[in-house]
Structure 1
Amino acid sequence: NNFIGSIDHHVFDGLTSLIELHLDNNLIKEIKHNTFKNLLQLETLDLSGNRITVLHKNAFDGDIPIRTLRIDDASIENIADGTFDSLINLEVLSLCGNRIQHLNENYLKLPNLHHLSIARNNFKTVDSNALTNLPNLESLDLSECSIKAFPQTFFDECVYLRSLSIAGNEISSLPSSIFNGLSDLRVIDISDNKLSSDSLQSLLVIKQLEKVTLNRNPIHRLSADLGRMNNLKEIQVSNSNLRDIDYSTLLTLSNIEVLDLSGNQLKELPLGGLKNAQMKKLNLANNRFTEIPDAVFLDEVVNLQELDISANPLKRLMGKGSSKGSPISTLEVLEASNTNLTVLTSMEMTLMPNLRSINLANSAINKISPGVFKNLSKLTHLNLAFNHLEILPRERLRGLTSLIHLNVTSNNLKSLDQFPSDTKTIKVLDASGNRIKKLDKILFRHTSNLEELMLSDNWITSIGVGSFSSLERLTVLDLSQNNLEVLRPVVLEPVERTLDHLYLQGNPWSCSCSNEELWSWLQNHPSQVKEPQLLHCDLPKKLRGSSFLMLGPSTFCPQPVIHGLAIQDIQSQSLLVSWQAANVSSIYGFKVTYQVTDGCEDEDSSSGSASSAALHHHQSVSSTPTLGLDARSFRLEKLEPSTEYQVCVHGLAKSLTSHSHTLSEDHVDNAPKQHNEALRCSRGRTLTYPPAASTGAATSNVGIILGVVLAVALVAGIVGALLWYRLCRAKNNDHEPNKQSNGCPPDFYTSTQYSHSSSSYSTRQYRDKEEFAC
């Protein structure tokens, strides 16, 4: 698969351990001398799909141990004599799809060759001794080589040949002794030739033959002589214009295990012809049978495992005569598709009790009688697709205790009945292409093992809450191409843990408040939604055709996410932004952006620099980090004084798209102009600096010094007063008057004081002047 046009003989030097070399599908035109000479371990070489017109004699010279060589579809027209002579270890040679015109021994001298395939060439001549030097050949494919006849002795030296295909040629007759030397041949395919039934006599000499394929030959009748071949196990005679089969012929084929009579014009099989037959597979498809032949049941074909009666004009499965036959307990597969069946009666499955698979698709069945499947406890696959069923009552499925796959697609079912408890094993249900309008809560109550549910292309408008609550193992849910406008996520929640594939495209979705929760649920489960780009809005009309999952949450339900926005605690260089927000599941956080607005010149001349800076940054948008879902306020700092700002709070929504949630400057600039319910903006102006800030640095310093001096003086005065008071108290303690006997202080205001020791008056005492001074 490259564009290699040529290979130099030094390219592979040193690759002495190379085992496989694939140079297929390139543009190689020539294999040069000694190209592979040094590949001493090479076992497999593939040169297919190149443009090698001629293979020269020395192309493979050298001691190359190649065992498998493929040069298919390489435009080879001529092979030189002795080209492969040096490949003494070659076991497999394939030269299919070339333009080789001559088949002769000169380039086929390979004593160890086991498998030779030269199919799809255009031989003009076939030498009688072409295979003489291939003594160990085991399989030979000469199909589609435009060969009209073989020489009488062509196969005489192929004594070990086990498989031969000469299909797709123009052979009209075979000499009676042409296969005399093929004593060990097991499989022969002579399909798509022009052989008549007389040519089959040449096969009788092949005693070990096990399988013969005669498809698409104008045989017209099957020879009874084939029954004399005791080892023959499989005969394929499809599309061979057979009109009937003799009783004796069929009876002699008692050892046949696989019989393919499809694509003929048979109307019946002779009764008794299958007596004691060892047949395991019987293919009667595409004939003219109106029912399964009575011989199948009456002749007691006890080993039959597979029966194909498809593409016949069946009016019923079993005839009245078959009811007297014995059940075929070994029959496991019944193919009866593309027929004219209209009704399945309750008796038609009674003789096939162990069926595991029934295919009744593409027929005209409009009625299934009660109890048809009641005895088919081993049935795992039931295909009723592309019929005319309008109802499928739950009773019709009773008895199917092993059912795994049920296909009722493309019928006329208007509803689905609750599945019976017998069907708890079902894993795959395909009911697509019907007219089902709704799904009831109890519908899947007994199908807890369901893994795949296909309901596409119906008329479903509603799905009841709890409809999927029992489907604990559901991995695939297809609701595409229905009439769903609204779908509540609560319907999907029971299966969201196991669901891998969810198909919802092709519904007329309403992109309104009613589907906001669905939009949010799908955003949270992106890996489960398949082909999300195909989900489109149908309502409202203005959004028709819009991508469902690419819309923002506010588009579905135009109610503000941010209820209120306030700018508080305004300072000269900061603002406190507060907001209120709705509890919307699609919002995962908030972000505050701010920018200087137009016309923001400050009247104060001292702030002219700030004003010019604001004007300079007019287009600049600043943004906070992503804030949590619980955030309701944020302080903006390092702002310019006396400047008007536009402040916006954004609700950040989840999305299935891979774009970043970071807000671009252009988006923020345009956001207030857009109808965005997840955004609210307001304006606020920062304060100017306090007036004291304009008196200069020197005046400010003097005020500070004066304040400090006054404070120090006040503290010093208070400390001095306290020290003087303590000093006075200390002096008074030395002249303290006597206290009264009851502990009270002496009374200095009475004229006399009585003594406790005598009744005489004592002289009046006065307060000391120093005491009064203190």
Structure 2
Amino acid sequence: MAAFQLLFLLLVSCMAASARPPRHLSECQVVQTDVFCSNKSLSGAPVNLPHHVQLLDLSRNQVQNLTQETLAYRTGFHRLNLHANKIHFIQPGLFKDMADLKVLDLSRNHLNVFALSKINIGPLRAVESLDLSSNGLYTGMSDYFLAESPSLANLSLNSNSITKIAHDTFSGSLSLRKISLHNNVILEIEAGAFDSLANLTELDLSKNSITCIIDFNLYNLKVLNLSKNSLELFQSEKSAPSLKLLSLDLSENKMQRFPVLPADNALEYLDLSRNQLHNLNVTGGDNLIFKKLRYLDISYNHLSSIPDSLFWSMEQLEVLNMSNNCIGSFSTSHPDHLQNVKIINLSYNSLQTLTFGENTLLSLEKLYLQGNGLTFLDHQIFQRLPSISFLQLQQNNLKICPPKQNHLERTLMDQNHQNLSSCVSFSCVQNLHFLYLSENNLMTLPANAFAHTPLKLLDLSLNPGMDMDRDSLFGLEQTLDHLLLRENNISSLNTDLSSLRSLRHVDLSTNQLTTLPTWNTESSIESLNLQNNNLVTLEYSTMIALKPSLKTLYMGSNPLSCCSNLNFLQMVQNSAVVVPDIERVTCVHEEYSEPVNIEKVTLEMCHAQTNAPNSIVTVVLISLVVMIVLCGLVVKCRQSRKRKRHRSFRA
């Protein structure tokens, strides 16, 4: 029956091939030994295909039957790309004479139709990489493509409909090093399915329906991805020898506890994010010994606390992500804990207390604390982090301490709040370069708030009503590069920005500014955002000072006057300044009822407006002169008449 089906398919394919017009190489691109014919609506390779071709790309075409004729009777291919065609038939034994074929891409076709014939495609003796993804294959169908693939190292079966991995699925491909089974419907993996693959180092089983992994024994495996399954349990054999597993991704599952691995494990990367962890029962057992772990992600769980003892064996940990939980407190007290950690993410929790002991977290460089609503902290907490360079404190309720606050006042505050202060100091944080304080309800920014802290970026946005002292940015003259003050409801900026000689990027958008900050010719401003303010006139001196360095200017949604900003218009039209929101930059002109885009404003429009009142003045002056002359003439006429009368009387 199977032979009859195959014969029928071959007959249909031959009839279809005879009815097609000849294919020409001119439709393709030839680069040395590579021929690219992608997306040309072809049913096969060009008939005049070069004999020396090594790479043939026939992807995204109309190939239905893969035969010798389809490939122009060539066998010297090294790489063959048939992705996204309509292949439902492959001539058995087609690849047996292709001794150099290393890469074969058959993804996104209809190979499930061919698999129904239950005939092997024949040996793939040299193929090292095979892509069978998106072919509608279900359980057992891959066997017809893998039965004789002794050199196969990389295999992709992504996006098929496989529900079960049998113990002999890969028996014909014993050299496999990497297998990807992402996005199938795998429910069961038979015992020993991967045991015969001594070289297997990377396995992707993500986005399936696996519920548990018991007695994990793939000792040579280095990378395992089990994300997006329904896993509730992962454990290795109790008497398992040393595992070589380096990366384990268990994200987006239903795990309620850490995976159980032997104490002698090499794990460096562990992702447990988006699971159902409620608590971490640390008992000191072997199941939580991760001496080589460098990356741990337990974000998006239901954790309310993190015991300090969790980290006692994680000597090499560098990245710790605990964001999006319900953690109320976090502390490190022992200098040996987290001594190599560089990044800690505690954002979007419910932190009430945060404590770093003396000589702890000496390597910490980045700390994420946004979205916690923090109000009270030890005012010197960040000075205890000698390597901290990046601090994200957005969406909290912190106040900033003046750097020279009375020592007695601080002591009293500390006692009242159990070592917590109503304000936090940001001065003398030796290596802090990036500080984000947006959305903290800051009402005041004291003088010298960041003295002796080498900030490069300072974000003070979304603190409406914040009162900035004139010297609040004192000490940042040589370092500050980015300053963000958007959405602060600022009507005038009292702080002197002209002294910040390294400042290049400023965001003052969405405020109530009516005048520009003062800058001098030493300014280095390259990017300036003034969108959504109340600017009517741009000061000529400021624009001249900015012109040498300014590269990008945002000016949309301001009530600019057209004819009071001719210097600005000339700058936009004649300089290299780029205005990305130019379509939104409009101005008001007396002769037009609607705002005019600044690109449409001309000097003549403004000259006409200024000449109109001048002409009226001229007419008035001329009228006055004429009246004066007439009055003079009238006076002279009267005087001459009087003289004549006097003469006639004497006669």
* Cα distance, 1:281 vs structure 2: 1.3
How many Å separate the matches in 2 of 1:93 and 1:260? 33
Change (3 A) 1:16 1:347: closer
Contact conserved, 1:456 with 1:478, CA < 8 A, in 2?
yes
Residue matched to 1:422: 452
1:384-419 CA-to-partner distances (Å, cap 9, x unmatched) read 234444657666223432223223334433454444
Contact conserved, 2:29 with 2:35, CA < 8 A, in 1?
no
Residue matched to 1:244: 257
Change (3 A) 1:13 1:285: closer
Count of residues paired in the alignment: 548
How many Å separate the matches in 2 of 1:546 and 1:459? 26
* Cα distance, 1:285 vs structure 2: 1.1
Change (3 A) 1:78 1:548: same
1:132 aligns with 2:147: yes
SS in 1 for 2:233: coil
Contact conserved, 1:190 with 1:214, CA < 8 A, in 2?
yes
How many Å separate the matches in 2 of 1:113 and 1:270? 48
Residue matched to 2:347: 337
SS in 2 for 1:483: coil
Q: 1:12-161 counterparts in 2 under 5 A? A: 12=26, 18-24=32-38, 26-32=39-45, 35=47, 37-40=49-52, 42-63=53-74, 65-101=76-112, 102-103=114-115, 106-107=120-121, 109-124=123-138, 126=141, 128-161=143-176
Which ranges of 4 or more aligned residues in structure 1 deviate by more than 6 Å? 13-17, 538-544, 676-682
Q: Which amino acid aligns with 1:354?
A: S
Match of residue 372, structure 1, among 371, 374, 381: 381
Higher mean C-alpha deviation, range 415-424 or range 138-147: 415-424
Q: Which amino acid aligns with 2:348?
A: N
1:583-638 CA-to-partner distances (Å, cap 9, x unmatched) read xxxxxxxxxxxxxxxxxxxxxxxxxxxxxxxxxxxxxxxxxxxxxxxxxxxxxxxx
Match of residue 209, structure 1, among 221, 230, 250: 221
* Cα distance, 1:314 vs structure 2: 1.2
Residue matched to 1:717: none
Change (3 A) 1:443 1:522: farther
How many Å separate the matches in 1 of 2:616 and 2:214? 87
Change (3 A) 1:11 1:188: closer
Residue matched to 1:527: 577
Match of residue 453, structure 1, among 464, 477, 483: 483
SS in 2 for 1:317: strand
Contact conserved, 2:29 with 2:37, CA < 8 A, in 1?
no
Any gaps of 5 or more consecutive residues in structure 1?
A: 1-5, 559-649, 651-670, 683-774
Q: Which amino acid aligns with 1:340?
A: S
* Cα distance, 1:112 vs structure 2: 1.5
Q: 1:312-711 counterparts in 2 under 5 A? A: 312-318=325-331, 322-323=332-333, 326-341=336-351, 343=352, 345-347=354-356, 351-389=360-398, 396-417=425-446, 418-424=448-454, 426-435=455-464, 441-447=470-476, 448-464=478-494, 466-472=496-502, 474-487=503-516, 490=519, 494-495=523-524, 496=546, 497-509=548-560, 525-537=575-587, 545-547=595-597, 550-551=600-601, 675=612
SS in 2 for 1:107: coil
Q: Which amino acid aligns with 2:171?
A: D
How many Å separate the matches in 2 of 1:29 and 1:678? 76
Give the structure-2-normalised TM-score. Answer: 0.73
Q: Which amino acid aligns with 2:384?
A: N
Higher mean C-alpha deviation, range 330-339 or range 368-377: 368-377
How many Å separate the matches in 2 of 1:352 and 1:677? 74
Contact conserved, 1:168 with 1:192, CA < 8 A, in 2?
yes
Give the structure-1-normalised TM-score. Answer: 0.63
Match of residue 208, structure 2, among 179, 186, 193: 193
Contact conserved, 2:550 with 2:577, CA < 8 A, in 1?
no
Contact conserved, 2:571 with 2:577, CA < 8 A, in 1?
no
Residue matched to 2:320: 307
Residue matched to 2:185: 170
Change (3 A) 1:437 1:498: farther
Contact conserved, 1:289 with 1:313, CA < 8 A, in 2?
yes
Contact conserved, 1:476 with 1:499, CA < 8 A, in 2?
no
How many Å separate the matches in 2 of 1:313 and 1:30? 58
Change (3 A) 1:516 1:392: farther
Residue matched to 2:303: 289
* Cα distance, 1:422 vs structure 2: 2.9
How many Å separate the matches in 1 of 2:601 and 2:61? 52
Any gaps of 5 or more consecutive residues in structure 2?
A: 1-19, 404-423, 525-545, 620-651
Q: Which amino acid aligns with 1:455?
A: L
1:263 aligns with 2:274: yes
SS in 2 for 1:223: strand
* Cα distance, 1:115 vs structure 2: 1.1
How many Å separate the matches in 2 of 1:392 and 1:117? 61
* Cα distance, 1:676 vs structure 2: 8.6
1:220 aligns with 2:232: yes
How many Å separate the matches in 2 of 1:518 and 1:37? 62
SS in 1 for 2:25: coil
Q: Supply the RMSD in Å over aligned alpha carbons.
A: 3.8
Larger Rg: 1
How many Å separate the matches in 2 of 1:43 and 1:676? 81
Contact conserved, 1:156 with 1:180, CA < 8 A, in 2?
no
How many Å separate the matches in 2 of 1:304 and 1:312? 20
Identity %: 22
How many Å separate the matches in 1 of 2:109 and 2:204? 21
Q: Which amino acid aligns with 2:475?
A: H
